[in-house]
Structure 1
Amino acid sequence: MQSFGIISINNTSELEYINEIAAYAVKSGFHCYRFTPDAVTPNKDTVPGLAFDSESGEWISAEFPIPTVLYDRCFYRNEQELKQYSPIINWLKTRTDLLFLGYGLPNKLAIYDTLKTNPQILPYLPETTATQHVQEVFKLLRERESLLLKPVFGSQGRGIFVLQKKEKQILVKTVKNTTIIEREMDSEKTKKWLNQLLASYSYLAQPFLSLTNAKQQPFDIRILLQKDENGKWIERGKGMRIGKEQSIISNLAGGGIPYSFEDWLEEVAPEKQEFIQAELNELIQLIPTALEHYYHPLFEIGLDIGIDKRGALWLLEVNSKPGRNVLLTVKPEMEKIIYEAPIKYAIHLLKGISKGERIDGEVLSN
């Protein structure tokens, strides 16, 4: 019997999602386990963690051989966690006796540098610059009046800042625990703050795009793409994230709320609806193929797409470990499909290996 393992930073994250995966894994003939990367000892073939008991539906402490098929659900909140845990995950990915559902993507800046080489995707990308020094930030701020600073590593909208020039002051805006925080500083205080920030974390800079609705709420479209049981890329669904009024992020962790894409589209002028649909479909077709051309095979991708006041679409982020809350809130009927998808794709991979086939990215199908 094959074994299926879920790796996460702690053994309590995404409980509902992972419990549903485990229940379906057992029905499909797998032993199912979960463990943390720091539990792995490179010279040992076993790892302590939790084993799913099919009879009770509970997780039981156990030590077991590292599972044959692995699903990486490690979310790194900052660079420190990345440096602590990712070497272990990367070592596991080098082992030829193990198979990952997807091999992940690099950081935001590397993804941007990859995608901008594709002339069809380039027009959708906000100009993105690595910022290591305060002087670089001030140069960009002189050119653009307002600037978005985003951590190269990170998720859920943490550590994002907007800088705007206001006469002789600079307005710095961010969100902490759903609260919008603003502070005006002169140039010297801003430089001192930036020096501390950039000394601790890697940041990139982008133009601050006006991606808000008529109520001045930031919003974006979240699209979930996955490979199905035949290894074909398909769209699972779209949902909207609408942030707080005057906020700078739409993330649910920052106070945003899910909203139906179909309901939102009905509110858009009819002549723009067809354009938006066509542009989204193009991105859905282009991005998985482009990424798998440069990187290792993937299982799933989350696309975050903003729309500015002119109606132009912007690819804000690509995530190889997408969340599901937005989609499952607006489309609860997708639960079964979403929960079973990792195991169905794992079975596809194992069938391919048994036939001696090379598992790779394939053309997207609708």
Structure 2
Amino acid sequence: MGQPVLGILTLYLNDNGLLEEKPIYQKMTVAGRKLGLDVYVFTPQDVNYKQNRIHALMFDPSTKNWTRKWRSFPNMIFDRCRIQQSHRFQELQQFRKKYGHLTFLNRVLRNKWTVYKLMRKDERFRPHLPLTRMYESPTDLTEMIRKYPLVYLKPVNGTGGRGILRIEKQQNGTYLIQGRDQSRKIISPQRVPLSGLHGRLEGWNLKANRYLVQQGIQLKLPNGRVHDYRMLVQKNGSGDWAVTGCAGRIGASGSITSNLHGGGEAITMQALLKQWIKNEDTVEEVTQKAEELGLQMAAFLEQSYGRLCEMALDLAIDRKGQIWLLEVNPKPAREVFIQAGERDTYRRAIVRPLEYAIWLHEQKNRRKNITTPIEEELPTPE
């Protein structure tokens, strides 16, 4: 029996074959080889559906070059595809439908609204979820802004801080609108009275673009920059959920989000918490509580949606030490740890999905040896 094979499923960012995370896939290939795992990268466009073969993208550590080679389907698939508005995403949906019976390390998580509604049903998580509602009419925003002095408007399927608006009531009764457009560009801050708020937001087509209205948590540091925490929870080589790490993120000056792609910077969780809360005992208590919560949430979401192997939880922590879940990211980047100077955590973040893949493969083989019928087959040529 040869090495187990892991295929990393991704999407090209454009029609010229650009891949966003190529350096990460390179590191995964090298780490996989050391673990005895054969790793290659592919997209739905690289699949020959008639012959059930894949024109795989392979990295050679000895030459440090990427080459193409026709390969059989892998034993396992690590789905790294993020939502994009393109024909490529439609091809991905067709691939998932046709080959959904194969062994995926991670199944698809639903949009922000569906995840929120699901998690609200569990009393363990309810105190940690900022009140959120779907924007159906201006009334939804009006009622929320009257209840909370700060609210956020977020696209249901948005990523990377795109299209997010922050609306905060000012002492003089006006409302300050800040945010980023769909290309992550910071928009000019605007102050409007409540009567002019909806008119100013008309161009955003909030209902058509499926926006959420979310209770805002005050997270501005003394220098005016916002901050939050990115916790990475992954399955380990024993098939168990574990917190790989948690790092702080500080947004760029004038930004309403902390995303690194939007100019934010990373810092260790402990250093940021000590700046924010200052009481060391509270910092320790909050850190432990956040990790417990992260593991509970990961297990709950996997139980609800099917097999998952990693997720990032974007957390806010207020001055009192209350932990809030802002968002769940099922396809997390790892750069926050290297930027925070946590090299060991960064390395662990790359290796853990590979260790989990090997564990999963061994479990599958063990079941095959116990039962005669093969539980999951590779595709049969048509």
Pair 1:219–1:85, CA change in 2 (3 A): farther
For 1:170-206, what per-residue CA distance to the aligned partner results, in whole angstroms no more than 9, with x for missing partners?
5321135463532345646734743652354211111
* 8 Å CA contact retained: 1:220, 1:241: yes
Q: Does 1:9 align with 2:20?
A: no
Q: Does 1:355 align with 2:359?
A: no
Structure 2 unpaired stretches of 5+: 13-17, 376-382
SS of residue paired to 2:354: helix
Aligned partner letter, 1:75: R
Alignment counterpart, residue 236 of structure 2, candidates 225, 228, 237: 228
Summarize deviations over 1:116-137 as a string: whole Å, max 9, x none: 1111111010011111333322
Distance 1:106 1:34 in 2: 24
Matched residues, percent identical?
27
One of 337, 342, 355 as aligned partner of 1:331: 342
Match of 2:206 among 198, 201, 218: 198
The answer to whether 1:253 aligns with 2:264 is: no
Tell me whether 1:72 sits opposite 2:83 in the alignment. no
| Alpha-carbon distance in 2 for matches of 1:195, 1:44 | 48
Whole-angstrom distance in 1 between the partners of 2:348 and 2:288: 25
Q: Report the equivalent of 1:112.
A: 116
TM-score normalised to structure 1 length: 0.86
Query: Aligned-pair RMSD on alpha carbons?
Result: 2.8
Structure 2 SS opposite 1:282: helix
Describe the SS at the equivalent of 2:159: coil
Is residue 178–residue 255 contact of structure 1 (8 Å, CA) maintained in 2?
Answer: no
**What's the offset of the Cα at 1:348?**
0.5
What are the within-5 Å matches in structure 2 for residues 208-287 of structure 1? 208-267=216-275, 268-287=278-297
Q: In structure 2, what is the Cα distance between the partners aligned to 1:254 and 1:81?
A: 26
1:32 aligns with 2:30: no
C-alpha separation in 2, matches of 1:265 and 1:184? 31
Q: Structure 1 247/300 Cα, relative in aligned 2: closer, same or farther at 3 Å?
A: same
Deviation at 1:43, TM superposition (A): 4.5
Q: State TM-score, norm by structure 2.
A: 0.83
Residue from 83, 93, 99 that aligns with 1:87: 93
> In the alignment, what sits opposite 2:105?
101
Shift, 1:218, TM fit: 0.9
Q: What is the correspondence of 1:159-170 to structure 2 with a 5 Å cutoff?
A: 159-165=163-169, 170=175
CA contact (8 A) 1:149 1:162 kept: yes
Q: Where in structure 2 are the equivalents of 1:125-204 lying within 5 Å?
A: 125-165=129-169, 170-176=175-181, 177=184, 179=186, 181-184=188-191, 187=195, 190-191=198-199, 193-194=201-202, 196-204=204-212
Q: After superposition, where does 1:14-25 map in structure 2 within 5 Å?
A: 14-25=21-32
